C-alpha cells in the first residue's frame, strides 16, 4: 500500500467528520505504517480488518463511581472478536495510533429505542476524538443520521440520536482521531426511557442568581426544572430546557438571602412522550460575595481597601489583635460604592487582624455575605 500524503489524511479526516462514505482501503498513519480502517458505509466481517493486538489502557476508570464498569478485552477489532456488552452496561475502551477499531456486540431480547453515549475527560482543545456507529448483524450502518456520535474535546460527553431496533444482535464500532490515541472513553448502549436526572450542582451565583446543573439523560430531548421555597413544599415548574445537551439553567428570579430548593425531570419521546420521576432536591441561597481585602500599614494607621461587591449596600469591618481571637466591629461603611477604611486607633508595633463582610438590604433587613479572609497589618 502506498504511503499517504499529509493532504490525503486531511481529506480523510474531513470525510469521516462529515459522515461521508470512505473506501475500505482508506488509511490513517500511525508509527509510520498505514493500516486500513472500516469504511463508514462498508460491511465489517471477519477478515476485513487486520488482526492488530493492542494493549489498550482502558482498564481503569470507574465512571460515576461505579466500580462494576467492565473494560474492553483486546483484540476486539472485527466481528469475530467483538466484546459482548449489556444494554445500559458501560465499558471502558481506548483506541491507538495503528488505526485500531474497537468493536462491541449487544443483543436485544425485544424491540426498543436505543442510542449510544460516550463519557471521557475533556481538555478543551476543540479537536475531534472518536466517532462511533451502531451496525446491524452483518456490520452495516443502518441510519447515518441517527445511529452515530462524534465526540469532541470541547465536551466530556457525547451521544447519538435514538433509533428503534428490533430483537436481535447489533454492533458498535469506535474509531479514534489522532488526539484520541491512548485516551480512555466509557461507552454505553442505552435504552431510551424517562430516567430520573442526577443533579450535579445547585449553587448561588452572586446575590441574585442560582445556577442549576444536572447530568445528561440519554435520549432526553428536554428537561423540566422545578423550584420551591421549602424542601417539602409545593414545587412549581420554572423552566423547560430543550436539547439533549441542555443540562444547565440559571434562575435569575430569586431574592437575596432566601433559600430555594430545586429538582429536575427528564422528558423523552419514543412511541409517546414520557416524563421521568424527579431528581433529588438540592438548595442554594443567593448572597452577596465576600469582599477581597488588601491591607497597608502606615504611620499610626492601617489602610484597608477591598473590591466592590455587586449588590452590596454597605460593609462591616471587624478587628482583633490575634488571628483566631475575638473580633470587634470597628466600622460600618454605609455605602456599597465605598471600598476603603482607615483605622487610626492603633498602636505602633502591634499587629492587627481584620476581616470584612458585605451586606445587602432586603425588605429593610440586612443580608450578610461571608467574611473575607483575615488580613493583618502592623502600623509603624
Q: Are 316 and 369 in contact (CB under 8 A)?
A: no
36 and 168 inside one domain:
yes
26 and 128 inside one domain:
yes
pTM: 0.76
* Least confident stretch, 30-39, 154-163, 259-268: 30-39
CB atoms within 10 A of CB 64: 10
* Exposed / middle / buried, residue 60 (Cβ in 10 Å: 0-12, 13-18, 19+): exposed
327-366 confidence digits (pLDDT tens):
999 999 999 999 999 999 999 999 999 999 999 999 999 9
Q: Which three cell numbers stand for residue 113?
A: 429505542
> Has residue 55 been placed in a domain?
yes
137-162 confidence digits (pLDDT tens):
999 998 888 889 999 999 899 999 99
85-109 confidence digits (pLDDT tens):
999 999 999 988 767 899 999 999 9
Sign of the Cα pseudo-torsion (346, 352, 358, 361, in order):
negative
pLDDT at 20: 33
In whole angstroms, give the CA distance from residue 64 to residue 59.
Answer: 15
Q: Where residue 100 sits, what CATH number does that domain have?
A: 2.60.120.380
| pLDDT at residue 60 greater than cutoff 90 | no
Give the closest residue to 163 by CA, choosing from 151, 145, 175, 150.
145
Domain of 29 in residue numbering reads as 6-191
> Has residue 268 been placed in a domain?
yes
84 and 219 inside one domain:
no
Give me the mean pLDDT over the 244-252 stretch: 94
Domain stop point among 140, 157, 191: 191
Counting the structural domains of the chain, the total is 3
237 and 312 inside one domain:
no
**CA–CA distances in Å: residue 43 to residues 25, 132, 161:** 13, 15, 21
305 and 186 inside one domain:
no
pLDDT at 98: 66
Residue partners of 29: CB distance under 8 A and separation at least 6? 3, 4, 9
Amino acid at each position: 500500500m502506498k504511503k499517504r500524503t499529509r493532504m490525503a489524511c486531511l481529506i480523510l479526516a474531513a470525510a469521516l467528520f462529515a459522515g461521508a462514505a470512505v473506501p475500505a482501503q482508506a488509511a490513517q498513519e500511525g508509527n509510520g505504517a498505514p493500516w486500513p480502517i472500516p469504511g463508514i458505509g462498508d460491511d465489517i466481517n471477519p477478515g476485513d480488518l487486520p488482526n492488530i493486538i493492542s494493549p489498550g489502557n482502558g482498564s481503569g476508570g470507574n465512571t460515576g463511581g461505579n466500580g462494576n464498569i467492565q473494560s474492553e478485552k483486546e483484540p476486539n477489532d472485527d466481528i469475530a472478536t467483538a466484546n459482548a456488552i449489556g444494554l445500559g452496561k458501560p465499558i471502558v475502551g481506548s483506541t491507538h495510533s495503528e488505526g485500531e477499531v474497537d468493536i462491541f456486540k449487544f443483543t436485544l431480547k425485544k424491540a426498543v429505542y436505543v442510542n449510544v453515549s460516550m463519557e471521557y475527560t475533556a481538555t478543551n482543545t476543540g479537536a475531534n476524538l472518536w466517532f462511533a456507529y451502531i451496525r446491524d448483524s452483518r456490520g452495516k450502518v443502518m441510519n447515518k443520521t441517527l445511529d452515530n456520535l462524534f465526540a469532541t474535546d470541547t465536551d466530556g460527553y457525547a451521544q447519538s440520536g435514538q433509533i428503534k431496533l428490533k430483537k436481535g444482535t447489533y454492533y458498535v464500532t469506535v474509531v479514534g482521531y489522532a488526539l484520541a490515541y491512548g485516551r480512555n472513553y466509557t461507552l454505553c448502549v442505552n435504552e431510551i426511557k424517562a430516567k430520573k436526572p442526577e443533579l450535579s450542582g445547585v449553587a448561588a451565583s452572586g446575590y441574585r442568581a442560582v445556577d442549576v446543573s444536572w447530568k445528561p439523560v440519554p435520549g432526553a430531548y428536554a428537561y423540566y426544572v422545578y423550584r420551591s421555597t421549602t424542601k417539602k413544599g409545593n414545587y412549581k415548574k420554572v423552566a423547560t430546557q430543550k436539547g439533549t445537551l441542555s443540562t444547565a439553567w440559571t434562575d435569575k428570579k430569586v431574592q437575596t438571602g432566601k433559600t430555594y430548593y430545586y429538582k429536575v425531570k427528564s422528558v423523552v419521546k419514543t412511541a409517546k412522550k414520557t416524563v421521568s420521576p424527579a431528581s433529588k432536591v438540592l438548595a442554594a441561597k443567593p448572597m452577596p460575595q465576600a469582599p477581597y481585602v488588601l491591607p497597608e500599614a502606615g504611620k499610626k494607621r492601617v489602610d484597608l481597601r477591598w473590591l466592590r461587591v455587586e449588590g452590596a449596600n454597605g460593609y462591616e469591618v471587624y478587628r482583633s489583635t490575634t488571628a483566631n481571637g475575638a473580633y470587634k466591629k470597628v466600622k460600618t461603611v454605609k455605602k456599597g460604592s465605598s471600598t476603603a477604611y482607615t483605622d487610626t486607633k492603633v498602636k505602633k508595633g502591634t499587629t492587627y487582624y481584620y476581616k470584612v463582610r458585605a451586606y445587602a438590604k432586603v425588605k429593610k433587613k440586612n443580608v450578610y455575605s461571608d467574611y473575607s479572609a483575615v488580613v493583618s497589618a502592623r502600623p509603624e
